[in-house]
Structure formats: structure tokens, C-alpha cells
């Protein structure tokens, strides 16, 4: 079954700042061949915007639910974004 390409915004809450979460996300996204960005938000959540094959995005969502050692993911909110941004790699947006 061949999947399409999508762009998603995912917001992860819980103990996700100060535990290496952004670096974990960047590594996972790069391994999966996704483009996009990850950043801490002022409310203590982490925002991930990622674009790529649907199968890779599904795998990223699973990794986000687990998180790195020391993190605790309480919730993962997600919604699809329209269009295809011009990202060519996955980076941490500071």
C-alpha cells in the first residue's frame, strides 16, 4: 500500500522540556527522512511540525508518545497542515 505525503503539527505536553526532547525529535525525524522543525513553546509544551511520507509521520507520532528517557508524555495533539512548506531538512527552532 503506497501512502501519500502530508504535513502535520503535533504538540506534545507533559514533562517534555529540559529532558532533551527536541534533540530526540530531531534525531527521530532525520532517521525517518522527514523535514520540519521542533521548538519549545512558552506554555511548557513542545511543538513539532513535520512533512514527509505518511508512514514516516505515523512512525514519528509513535516515537513522540514514548519520548526520550527522563520525559513523560501526557498528551499528543495533532492536526494536518495545508500545503507543503519548503523545508529541506529537520531542525531545532530555538
Give all domains of the chain, ordered by start, each with its CATH number.
20-83 (3.30.70.100)
Residue 94 has pLDDT above 90, yes or no: no
Tens digits of per-residue pLDDT, 11-63?
A: 999 999 999 999 999 999 999 999 999 999 999 999 999 999 999 999 999 99
Angle, helix 21-31 to helix 54-66, in steps of 10 degrees: 150
Confidence of residue 2 (pLDDT cuts 50, 70, 90): low
Residue 40 appears among annotated catalytic residues: yes
- Residue from 22, 61, 89, 94 carrying the catalytic annotation: 22
Q: Read off the DSSP letter of residue 33.
A: T
Residue 39 appears among annotated catalytic residues: no
pTM, 2 dp:
0.93
Which residue is it, cell 529540559? 18
Residue 3 has pLDDT above 80, yes or no: no
Amino acid at each position: 500500500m503506497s501512502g501519500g505525503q502530508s504535513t502535520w503539527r503535533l504538540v506534545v505536553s507533559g514533562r517534555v522540556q529540559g529532558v532533551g526532547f527536541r534533540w530526540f525529535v530531531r534525531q527521530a525525524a532525520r532517521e525517518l527522512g522527514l523535514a520540519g522543525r521542533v521548538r519549545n513553546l512558552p506554555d511548557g509544551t513542545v511543538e513539532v511540525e513535520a512533512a514527509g511520507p505518511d508512514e514516516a509521520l505515523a512512525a514519528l507520532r509513535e516515537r513522540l508518545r514514548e519520548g526520550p528517557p527522563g520525559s513523560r508524555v501526557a498528551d499528543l495533539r495533532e492536526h494536518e497542515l495545508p500545503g507543503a512548506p519548503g523545508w529541506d531538512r529537520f531542525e531545532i527552532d530555538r
